[in-house]
Amino acid sequence: MKKIIFSLFVLFAFLGCQNNESISLALDWYPNSNHAGIYSAIDEGFFQDEKIDFEIYTPSDPTAIISAVASGRDDFGLSYQPDVLQAQSAGLDVISVLSIAQHPLNSIMTLKENNISTPKDLKGKTIGFPGIPSNKAMLKTVLNNQGLDISDVETIDVGFELVKALISGSVDAIIGAYWTHESIVMEQQGYEINIIRLEEWGVPDYYELILITNVTFLNENKIEVEKVVESITKGYKFAIKNPEKSISSVINIAGKEIVEEDVERKGIELLIPMWESKSIPFGFQDTKKWEETYNWMKNNNFLKDELKIEDLLFTEFSNN
Amino acid sequence: MISGVLDPSLGKIKLNGSSKRLGKIAYMQQKDLLLPWLTVQENVMLPFKIKKNDTKNNFKDMLEKSKILGIEEYLQFFPNELSGGLKQRVSLLRTILQNSEFILLDEPFASLDAITRLELYSWIEKIKEHINKSIILVTHDIEEAIFLSDHVIIMSSGKNNFSYELPITLEHPRNTKITINNEFFNLKKLLLENLRKVKSID
Amino acid sequence: MINIFFNKISKSFLPLLSFISLIFIWQILSVLQVFESWLLPSPFAILVELFDSKHFLFRHTLVTAFEIFVGLFFAIFLGSILGFSMTLSKILERSFLPYIIASQVIPIFALAPILIVWFGAGFLSKIIVVFLISFFPVCIGVFDGLRRSNIDMENMLKTMGANNYQIYSILKIKLALPSFFSGLKVASVSSVIGAVVAEWIGSKAGLGWIMKVSGPLFHTERVFASILLLSLFASLLFLLVKIAEKKFIKGV
């Protein structure tokens, strides 16, 4: 009897301690080329140099990341600027500390044989999306741009299964698919697709991937946050210069079982100009871009409360 | 009520001057009430286990008596593997092993067929020599009463308050041959006559 | 004679034969590409996947198994205690029974997302889901089982001088066992479902996590391999319960 109680005690201590020592990051999606910099930061030892025990994982529910960070369950998260804005306006205490993908990667994809090339052609169709709310906002904008309304289409939450939903024909189109990833996946399976770029139809040039953290965590652990931001920045700079090695890091750490090597090696080439360009250094957070995105969402009634731009992002570590 | 499971609504029942009877009187019923998940041996040793004296001596005593009752070879069997007659013998053994002033048998053979009943009478005759206690047998079978007992008491309930006591002087050990001799017949006649006084049999 | 022989054979042989035929037909249809391999992979592909990714699958099986065992342990432990206490006092019974019934009526999988927000996507939330799902069958199994009385046997033990504790340990617990094991059988199967669905809703690892994340990568064989592993695990649990039942309920 005593043995049982003792082992229970140890068990609970173990369970409780799980999250205490290491810093956790919730990835926005299953590991792919968009995360290359983070995996390089781990593999090349940048976190180790800063003595940070970094833990990353893919949640089985992609819609839960922001709330996990807001509640303090996870210290950091990767997410998309429009979703973060929606969460912030709903009162969640998250803040952006680094930008990764500077431009939209999200797009609407259809099978070529369905002859859908502009948003107008989406009238009366079913569209699959991953359950992440910003997709609906962007869809609405794109439809309104061509005189349509969201009620002219039917949306279905398909979680991670965007590609399958499209290929199997259970939906006519998908949104939430990246033209740097899902397009490659489908081409590899032998499907020809049409891509509708969101920025071309009224969606502003928003940040596709940003690093967020909890406001309280930031205030209490400024040094830790600086180290994490620096390590990740180093990681991406390394990935930009060494894409091959970087993808190999993703495969080695995340496991070959869940990383599609061919797709990701192609994907990183498309992503590098999205991470850094001549005019925009990696990680830079442009307050004007945040204003633009904020205004777009506010004017379309996608946000609950008014927000002050200064509260949404923290640029001390990203804009050096 | 005698066993102490029930208490009288009026008046008192005392055993050796004390009303606390429960646990002091060995009681065997019509149902064998053997625990189906215990072996015969475990069932029979149960009274010792409960009173916390399952000692070597008591075990020896149990073995001896199980030999006499012819159930030694069945000690490792489970109750559902035994016939009705065997189960009642096991129940009987359990009852007589219990440390008690006297033994109360409550129509113990009523659910057995007539022939098995006769067998059980012989087993009772055999084991009786090895028990030093009084046995109270409750039965509605006249012949059974005569065959097994040294005294038969007829009691009626209610307002009549009738009772009749008849000593049985037949010799022990008794066997079924005596059930057809004259002495037995006369005893039966006496009992029937007295029964008629309280029950409407003719 | 032939009848008896045929009877024995048909009990084990026929189900096996029909199973093998089913697999065979499935394999043939897959080879003929009657359906897309990423919609329904062939049995052979699933088997290959089991061996190829065995370390990966094994790691995640351990995760799910851990969640199930810990959740079940607490469900059995606390469920039995509560079931037992409810038989002792009518006050306890009336106080707790409505909550216990409610715990079953509220769809656990509607609660699961909230639990995951509260307790994170790690082990704790899954253990809690498994616990909530398994608690009711065990608790009610114990409660009903203990109320099953055999007055004659109880009285018989009393005439032997047994006290209340002895009546419980010698008689009542044994009488309660069939009901307890029935509850346990239900709980063991539900626990597996609970763990998997909780993992779908929010997790970092486990067989349910694999099923969710493997889908988009066209690794449908892995999804099926996970399903196979889960069924095997659930059958194993059920078998363990049956073995325990046989051991504890002898001679009945």
Q: Which of B199, B185, B84 is nearest to B143 (CA)?
A: B185
- Flag whether pLDDT at A13 surpasses 50: yes
Kindly indicate the confidence band of residue B17, based on its pLDDT and cuts at 50, 70 and 90: low
Nearest to A37 by CA among A246, A253, A280, A195: A246
What mean pLDDT comes out for the span A4-27? 67
Record the tokens describing residue C96, joined without a space. 């707790």
Q: Looking at the complex, report in whole angstroms how far the Cα of residue C184 sits from the nearest Cα belonging to chain B.
A: 20
Which residues contact residue A255 at a Cβ distance below 8 angstroms, ignoring those fewer than 6 apart? C56
Q: C246 to chain B: nearest residue by CA? A: B37
Are B24 and C252 in contact (CB < 8 Å)?
Answer: no
CA gap A217, A119 in Å, rounded: 42
Does the distance separating the beta carbons of C116 and A61 come in below 8 Å?
yes
Query: Does the pLDDT at position A16 exceed 80?
Result: no
Mark yes or no for CB contact A60/C222 under 8 Å. no
Angstrom distances, CA of residue C97 to CA of A78, B62, C71, C85, C87: 44, 47, 21, 11, 11
**pLDDT exceeds 80 at position A15:** no
Rounded mean pLDDT, C135-155: 90
Q: Which of C52, C116, C207 is most worth mutating to test chain A (most A CB atoms within 10 A of its CB)? A: C116
C-beta atoms of C208 and A60 within 8 A: yes
* pLDDT of amino acid C194: 93
Give the number of other CB atoms < 10 A from CB of residue A277. Answer: 12
pLDDT greater than 60 at residue C128: yes
Residue B51's pLDDT is what? 87
Mean pLDDT of chain B, nearest integer: 84
Same domain for B155 and B112?
no
- 3-state DSSP call for residue A314? coil
> How far is residue B154's CA from residue B163's CA, in Å, rounded to a whole number?
5
Q: Which of C160, C174, C252 sits opposite B47 (nearest CB)?
A: C160
Q: Does B108 touch chain C (CB under 8 A)?
A: no
Instruction: Give the DSSP H or E segment for B134.
Output: strand B134-138
CB A75 within 8 A of CB A286: no
What pLDDT score was predicted for residue C127?
A: 95
* B119 vs B125: CA distance, rounded Å: 10
Cβ-nearest to C202 among A60, A162, A189: A60
Query: Which residue in C has a C-alpha nearest to residue A73's C-alpha?
Result: C120
Are the beta carbons of C228 and C50 closer than 8 angstroms?
yes
Of A206-215, A263-272, B129-138, the one with minimum mean pLDDT is B129-138
Confidence of residue C235 (pLDDT cuts 50, 70, 90): very high
CA dist A72 and A19 (Å) reads 10
Nearest C-alpha of chain A: how many angstroms from C93? 27
The interface predicted TM-score of the complex, written ipTM, equals 0.80
Residue with tokens 């032939």: C2
Cβ-based neighbour number of residue C7 at 10 Å: 9
A21 touches chain C (CB under 8 A): no
Examine the domain organization and report whether B179 and B150 are in the same domain: yes
What pLDDT, on a 0 to 100 scale, did the predictor assign at position C51? Answer: 92
Cβ contact B37–C252 (<8 Å): yes
> Within this chain, do residues B83 and B130 fall inside the same structural domain, yes or no?
yes
Asked whether the beta carbons of A108 and A195 are under 8 A apart, the reply is yes
Q: Tell me whether residues A57 and C205 touch, CB distance under 8 A.
A: yes
**Can you tell me the distance from the alpha carbon of A295 to that of A291, in angstroms, rounded to the nearest whole number?**
6
Which range (A114-118, A267-271, B165-169, C125-129) has the least confidence?
Answer: B165-169
Q: How many independent structural domains does chain B possess?
A: 2
**What is the average per-residue pLDDT within A228-248?**
95
**Domain parsing of chain C, residue ranges:** 1-34, 39-248
Q: Looking at the domain assignment, is residue B109 inside a domain?
A: yes
Residue B20 counted as domain residue: no
Q: Say which amino acid occupies A284.
A: F
Contacts of C104 (CB under 8 A, 6+ apart): C136
Helix pair angle (A243-254, A261-275), 10° resolution: 130
Which of chain C's residues have a Cβ under 8 Å away from the Cβ of A250? none
Q: What is the dihedral of CA A139, A145, A148, A152, to 10 degrees?
A: -10
pLDDT over 90, % of chain A: 67
Whether residue B114 is found in the same domain as residue B156: no
CB A104 within 8 A of CB A225: no
Nearest chain C alpha carbon to A57: C204
CB of B104 closer than 8 Å to CB of B3? yes
CB-CB neighbors (< 8 A) of C158 in chain B: 4-5, 22-23
- For the CA atoms of A234, A235, A237, A241, what is the dihedral angle to 10 degrees? 140
Q: What pLDDT does B82 receive?
A: 92
pLDDT in tens, A302-315: 887 888 888 899 99
C161 near B23, Cβ under 8 Å? yes
For residue B198, pLDDT over 80 is answered with: no
Q: Do C166 and B50 touch (CB under 8 A)?
A: yes
- Which tops the pLDDT comparison, B158 or C97? C97
**pLDDT (0 to 100) of residue B170:** 79
Measured distance CA(B188)–CA(B184) in Å, rounded: 6
Asked if B30 is an interface residue toward chain C (Cβ–Cβ < 8 A), one would say no
Numbered residues of chain C with Cβ closer than 8 Å to any chain A Cβ = 38-39, 53, 56, 70, 113, 116-118, 120-124, 127, 199-205, 208-209, 212-219, 222
Q: In 3-state terms, what secondary structure has residue A296?
A: helix
pTM of the model: 0.77
CB A27 within 8 A of CB A35: yes
Chain-centroid distance of CA C124 in Å reads 18
Is B178 within the bounds of a domain? yes
Q: Which CATH number fits domain C39-248: 3.30.9.30, 3.90.1150.10, 3.30.2350.10, 1.10.3720.10?
A: 1.10.3720.10
To probe the interface with A, which of C56, C61, C218 has the most A CB atoms within 10 Å?
A: C218
What range defines the domain where residue B118 resides?
25-138
Instruction: Describe chain B by its helix, strand, coil percentages, rounded to 5.
Output: 45, 10, 45
B147 and B65 inside one domain: no
In this structure, are B98 and B116 located in the same domain? yes
Q: What are the pLDDT digits (tens) for A68-109?
A: 899 888 999 999 999 999 999 888 999 999 999 999 999 999
Instruction: State the pLDDT at residue A33.
Output: 94
Same domain, B112 and B58: yes
pLDDT over 80 at C126, yes or no: yes
Q: How far apart are CA C64 and CA C227, in angstroms?
A: 12
pLDDT at A139 over 90: yes
Total number of residues shown for chain B: 202
Closest CA to B65 of B90, B93, B24: B93
Question: What pLDDT was estimated at residue A1?
Answer: 57
| Interatomic CA distance for residues A34 and A247, integer angstroms | 10
Q: Which chains have at least 3 CB atom pairs separated by less than 8 Å from chain B?
A: C
A163: tokens are 């590609």
| Cβ contact A61–C202 (<8 Å) | yes
- By C-alpha distance, the chain C residue nearest B78 is C251
- B89 falls within a domain: yes
**Residue B57 burial (10 A CB sphere; 0-12, 13-18, 19+):** exposed
Q: Is the pLDDT at A8 greater than 70, yes or no?
A: no
Same domain as B178, residue B112: no
Name the nearest CA neighbour of C48 among C59, C60, C57, C39. Answer: C57
Q: Average the pLDDT over each of A143-147, A247-251, B28-32, B194-198 and give the range with the smallest value.
A: B194-198
Taking 50 as the threshold, does the pLDDT of residue C197 lie above it?
A: yes
When pLDDT is averaged across residues A201-219 and rounded to a whole number, the result is 94
A with C: touching (≥3 Cβ pairs within 8 Å): yes
**Minimal Cα distance from C216: which residue of A?**
A161
Cβ(A42)–Cβ(A248) below 8 Å:
no
Domain architecture of chain A: domains with CATH: 22-102+207-312 (3.40.190.10), 106-201 (3.40.190.10)
Looking at B138, B154, B185, which one is the last position of a domain? B138
* Contact (Cβ atoms closer than 8 angstroms) between residue A110 and residue A172: yes
Of C118, C127, C216, the CB nearest to A163: C216
The single residue listed with the structure tokens 């440390």 is B99
Of C201, C218, C222, the CB nearest to A61: C201
Tell me: pLDDT of B11 over 80: no
Q: Has residue A242 got a pLDDT over 90?
A: yes
Domain CATH for B83: 3.40.50.300
Which two three-digit tokens encode residue A167?
């290929």
Distance CA A171, CA B182 (A): 103
Query: Which of B82, B112, B138 is a domain's end point?
Result: B138
Q: In this model, does residue C11 exceed pLDDT 90? A: no
Same domain assignment for residues B160 and B105: no
pLDDT band of residue A19 (cuts 50, 70, 90) is very low
Average pLDDT value for chain A? 90
Please tell me which residue, A236 or C107, carries the higher pLDDT value: A236
